[in-house]
A and B are shown apart, each in its own frame.
Chain A
């Protein structure tokens, strides 16, 4: 203990001064403080020690639907027009964007921006279509309009070469690329989809508009509206194919969009969902939109791939969960023809 005195020893040999009682007390106090702190921290840390288990994710069903109004159809088909005109006519048929977007809403648009492809290759949603929806949201008084997707290919390339980044920015939207750090673990409450990382912009929206594109897909025959919800997920989503119909129904009952506009302007009829060859693309100049996502998928599957609802089990599953009807004929589909 007394050896501490030597600290003050100078180069010149002087008799070591005696330590005063005051100094000794202070030294004891310091020592006691450090000891008490160490013991306290040790106890606190050992109390905290728990076997790490995955924390329960927050359950958050996302219902962005607006009230049903019998005055307006649940599904509309607009044919033979350019993307911008298709969007305008479809929204007019459905009662106008103001029916869906309230003032000060944060609106997230979810186009398909999955692949490093150009618009002509029809693997991603048409950029002009996205831009027009952005403008319509602004006109309806939205506070923020966000365009985002979780791409499959390298996101910067996908957003760039799809033309969506430039078109959406030009229309005044915020374009958010999928930052790997902005995912939150969510309990999706599905039959097969339990806890999954979801990209946060999709969790913070007031309204969500689904902007998928219709494409060929070997596993289900076609990839349509509900398949677009793959793009809200992070994590190991390559597992979803193992039970694709159940996964699609789970996604569709987790994410209930305000509106769906299924892009059929250019349709990839073979070698989807990536395509690449212009010979695989048919110019259909059509948009199918509405508030019944089941009916929209059923309609387009029949129209372009001659698939009946029985061939797409996820439609029946979604129907059973009350998400819509695959019997689109019962809905009085409002069809508009635009002159060219």
Chain B
């Protein structure tokens, strides 16, 4: 009796955590900022979810030999998993919930017997353990590439950088058509809805992200796969699920099968989420079960219950085998050295790889960055974008500043506040040091790079035309761009006096405001490259800084 009520509780829990996740994600932006003229902080960024993510914690501990800020809280998930099994996957994880939801939709490949067959345990479900082992070995070699597949990372990246911006676009398109209506009432309604949604849902301005399309399609494909095999991604790839599955071997809660009552109808498989053999005649697979409790209600004979401290035959550990374990170990051990032996990280660094303010030096950075894209989501100038090749294959989807789209706002440190792993170490606006107030002489600002002029394109240098927008925008004081009066001759032979700009590399912090503001929209006459970035001792120009 009580057993059949559990799925209801589970559903409620799933909805609450999914909504909580979405609310936190949407509010991981500059919106509804409390306080007066002080510095701007976020109340509840979505990084709180990463602090429940033991995969990120374990991986980061292996890679950086430390636990950053709140990551230790992920024990909150790990400890109960020791007792209760993978309840996290079935009851909490929003990535699981979304797949669960899509998996429940009617689908041609999930009718009757087919559906039962698709929910039987499959050997390919062990792939996720291979992924986990490879990811953790890679972490031990100093690369958090496992973040590509971590479910929260995947969710924040996909929803934050693709789905929400697309939703914003659609909503604005519909609202714009209402707001341009000739009928006053429709126009008023459109504006009203716009203002209302603007309070909590619509972004202040449309965000665009490099690779947004790719990230969106991957995400939709993962959800779509659930139409064919329930929770295909959870069962086969998810390394967090694998970690929790491995930990749950000691759990004391388990499925009790009453073999007397069971008549092998296999109905328990119809709504099974994990593919963990709740059926009669087979041992229950503990590491696969997501504790969704659907089988309890599905059983017409009331033969299934979840019980504590039962003594029954079960498959407690992942069905991995020596060969697959070695495959995982070998994959992890080979991939990072191979990537690091390539050019990229130490050699031939990409000049346009501009890491956010507070980012650690590249090796440290890659040992922490999980490519969740939270920094990109929160950036109020839409300045941070997922890399494709700028950081090498290993750095795929890690953040880079694209000044042409947005510069780094002088007193903003939101990306460093939201970073869950300390790849972008938390700094204050004062530590960033671009707008210093007093005592400029002793200020050691964070530098992202250095700006360089293209004198063949710059208006005062090449076209006898006044400009100096770059100098106007330069946020540091004294300004890093200084001007020199010069006599130039225009095409009519007239001599003109105008101001030609130069960069003082001593003062330039590489924020990219000059590049952003340059009137040459397609290829600016001033560009920031990464040389001089303060995070890297090996990427400097000047012998000394005054």
Contact = CB atoms under 8 A, between A and B. Distances in A.
A217 interface: yes
B472 A219 contact: yes
B436 interface: yes
B501 to A, nearest CB: 9
Contact of B477 (A153, A161, A238, A277): A277
A244 B380 contact: no
Contacts of B261: none
Interface in A258-293: 270-271, 273-280
A161 B40 contact: yes
A242 B466 contact: yes
B477 A154 contact: no
A250 to B, nearest CB: 16
Interface string B209-224: 0000000000000000
B106 interface: no
Contacts of A118: 37
A163 B36 contact: yes
Contacts of B380: 154, 156-157
A127 B36 CA distance: 11
Contacts of B521: 236
Given A157-B380, A242-B465, A116 B409 contact: yes
A160 B40 contact: yes
A280 B475 CA distance: 13
A271 B473 CA distance: 10
A203 to B, nearest CB: 16
A218 interface: yes
Interface in B189-208: 204-206
- Residue picked from A155, A166, A241, A270, most chain B C-beta under 10 Å: A241
Contacts of B33: 156, 160
Nearest to B180: A181
A239 interface: yes
B437 interface: yes
A163 B36 CA distance: 6
A273 B519 CA distance: 18
Interface in A53-97: none
A116 to B, nearest CB: 6
A324 interface: no
A162 B435 CA distance: 14
A230 to B, nearest CB: 10
Interface in A2-51: none
Contact of A241 (B410, B438, B467): B467
A273 B36 contact: no
B435 A280 contact: no
A119 B471 CA distance: 22
Nearest to A118: B37
B32 to A, nearest CB: 10
A243 to B, nearest CB: 7
A335 interface: no
Nearest to B383: A154
A145 B193 CA distance: 23
Nearest to A244: B466
Contacts of B518: 238
B474 interface: yes
A121 interface: yes
B93 interface: no
Contacts of B331: none
B56 interface: no
Residues of A in contact with B, size category: 35 or more
Contact of B37 (A119, A241, A276): A119
A116 B478 CA distance: 17
B384 interface: no
A152 interface: yes
A217 B478 contact: no
A152 B459 contact: no
B20 interface: no
Contact of B472 (A239, A242, A273): A273
B411 interface: yes
Interface in A211-234: 217-219
A117 interface: yes
A322 interface: no
Contacts of A238: 469, 517-519
B446 to A, nearest CB: 15
A239 B519 CA distance: 6
Contacts of B472: 217-219, 241, 273-274
B170 to A, nearest CB: 14
Contacts of A317: none
B134 to A, nearest CB: 41
Nearest to A120: B437
A307 interface: no
A166 to B, nearest CB: 5
A219 B435 contact: no
A218 B468 contact: yes
Nearest to B38: A161
Interface string A132-175: 00000000000000000000111111001111001000000000
Contact of B409 (A153, A218, A270): A153
A116 B410 contact: yes
Contacts of A239: 519
B412 interface: yes
A339 interface: no
A154 B380 CA distance: 7
B477 A274 contact: yes
Interface in B496-536: 499, 517-519, 521
6 contacts: A117-B435, A154-B30, A160-B37, A179-B204, A219-B466, A242-B466
Given A157-B409, A219-B472, A274-B473, 14 more contacts: A117-B435, A154-B412, A155-B204, A156-B33, A157-B412, A161-B411, A166-B36, A179-B204, A219-B466, A236-B519, A241-B466, A241-B467, A242-B467, A276-B435
